[in-house]
Structure 1
């Protein structure tokens, strides 16, 4: 956990980096990620464990290549919070391409859950989705261990008209937002523990997966629209890809609805495996009786 002074230093550096060219900051983060990958660490072991579980057919060389590229992307993404949190709307418009299958400015947009996935570009994608909606929306966030950093992050993520709510307080608030026809952004593809979750396959591994998305969609009579923030090659910025609403979702079957989310990820991750958030302990919670994989 960062100390108060450590948080202040980190925030100051991010504000400074926001004044510098994006390409310079991205290259700096890339180089720092390469350097840190050379040092054996717990996070590096987590990345390799996740990749081995999800892609057992890969060669060691393939796994090593993706792991190193991912580590570089992950460290780079922290430095790029600078432009994402403190860059102007004009700067974001230049950096982020919008590829949307639906009209985000449609005044008749039905109650909608925008479901984000934890690729390294999720921060840029979420902020620009909020900006592109051109209306007030709701957004859920995972509390940070440092309260000072959390307040800065909340303010940055809310600057284009987002109401922020902690995941811990989410269900009642999300339903109220949907009732008011306010679009809601949330992420659900991480391991938040067994509560309100079920075990369904993710790359053939039984994985603790939240059931909240299907339940909220059912009670709130909402469509679910997936979106992904992609980091473009050659330090060109990002692409926000917004997909069509999922058909026949929710089904009312918690397992089937959770499996739908994981199946979507199984389609998207192979397109850019180095960008999915493998540094997270995705398989931390195991089915009863199963040993830890980490």
Structure 2
């Protein structure tokens, strides 16, 4: 059954990549709209997350954001098929603007390791393809349960000469060695870690268990951090890529302040395009002692 599911998903992704760009977006938006209108678990997770992160937003406005978010998540799914399967140069035509390229270049020019920090906002797959064409990073990822889909994604993610590291002990140790040798790593820093690997710091005004891994890699400027995101343009024609330098606190010895700086860098872009964040993720699953669970 797992093989069949995997084959079906891979087939769908390849089908999406054959369609015109506007059709790809329309199908993604339809998938998201159905997730909004039907009593799905995804819709409820989005509602819970937005209710806590935007408590001062009136209910009607927040419900519209629920719908926009689910439609944008649907688009990200179908658009990512194009990032994976199209020839890279064709996919790169979707990049309409790049902001802060000098930040990335300055980091690479130091000769020290570079940690590219992103989150589940916008189209991170296109973003990873783009940076892989520039600096061949090691990309940290969580293997998917469907082996056929995981195999395809790994193959597509390394086609530009970069490499991937699974989020296992061996993969993480290998990534650390790469950064220490002056290499480049790409990390999505927003998945919730184990309690022993994170601290609770604010994210959109809510205490969120956040990994200490990125601050540990760059502590004391042993490596240079660069925030990066690919945000969908309002007209749907493509994306705006943003590279930003982190606050100095990210490099400091105060662990909580460093992790808070990590969240603040991600939060800045989430607030700029809130509907493009993957609110279906149970980002706040673990709660501080004494606080009730959300999900």
TM interval, shorter chain, is over 0.9
Q: Is the 8 A contact 1:128 1:240 kept in 2?
A: no
Residues 211-260 of structure 1 show CA distances to partners (whole Å, capped at 9, x for unaligned) of 11111112881011000111112220122211135435310121111111
Conservation of the 8 A alpha-carbon contact between 1:102 and 1:243: no
* Maintained 8 Å contact 1:215/1:252: no
* Residue number in structure 2 paired with 1:228: 229
Q: Which residue of 1 aligns with 2:102?
A: 102
How far does residue 199 in structure 1 lie from its aligned partner after superposition?
Answer: 0.9
1:192-207 to structure 2, matched below 5 A, reads 192-207=193-208
In the TM superposition, what is the alpha-carbon distance from 1:208 to its structure 2 partner?
0.6
Alignment-derived partner of residue 158 in structure 1:
158
Q: 1:80 is paired with a residue of what secondary structure?
A: helix
- The CA distance in 2 between the partners of 1:211 and 1:89, in whole Å, is 33
Q: Which residue of 2 aligns with 1:190?
A: 191
> Relative to structure 2, which stretch is displaced further, 86-95 or 51-60?
86-95
Q: 1:112 to 1:76 in 2, by over 3 A?
A: same
Flag the structure with higher helix content.
Answer: 2
In the other structure, the counterpart of 2:209 is: 208
SS at match of 1:13: helix
Residues matched between the structures, number = 291
Equivalences for residues 75-154 of structure 1 within 5 A: 75-97=74-96, 98-102=98-102, 104=104, 108-109=109-110, 110-131=112-133, 133=134, 135-154=135-154
Is 1:268 the counterpart of 2:269 in the alignment?
A: yes
Instruction: Report if aligned partners of 2:247, 2:261 keep a CA contact under 8 Å in 1.
Output: no
Pairwise CA distance, 1:136: 2.5
CA contact (8 A) 1:126 1:229 kept: no
Q: Deviations over 1:134-162 (max 9, x none)?
A: x4221100121112211111111111122
Indicate how the Cα distance of structure 1 residues 24 and 60 shifts in structure 2: closer, same or farther if over 3 A, else same: same
- Shift of residue 63, structure 1, vs aligned partner: 0.5
SS at match of 1:279: coil
Q: Give the Cα–Cα distance (whole angstroms) in 1 for the partners of residues 42 and 251 of structure 2.
A: 35
Q: For the residues of structure 1 that align with 2:220 and 2:197, how far apart are their CA atoms?
A: 15
CA distance in 1, matches of 2:247, 2:206: 23
**1:282 match:** 283
Unaligned ranges ≥5, structure 1:
none
Alignment TM-score, normalising by the size of structure 2: 0.92
Q: Secondary structure at the match of 1:24?
A: helix
After superposition, the C-alpha distances for 1:51-109 in whole angstroms (9 at most, x for unaligned) are 11111100001101111000011122111222110111221121113323426567634
SS in 1 for 2:29: helix
Deviation string, structure 1 residues 96-125 (Cα, Å, up to 9, x no partner): 133234265676343110001210312221
Question: Deviation digits for residues 13-64 of structure 1, max 9, x if unmatched?
Answer: 2122222222211111112211231101111111011111111100001101
Q: 1:163 to 1:270 in 2, by over 3 A?
A: same
Inter-partner Cα distance in structure 2 for 1:208 and 1:90: 38
- Relative to structure 1, the CA distance from residue 116 to residue 77 in structure 2 (aligned partners, 3 Å threshold; closer, same or farther) is same
CA distance in 2, matches of 1:103, 1:172: 27
Preserved CA contact (<8 Å) 2:33 2:70: yes
Any conservation in 2 of the 1:229–1:240 contact (CA below 8 Å)?
yes
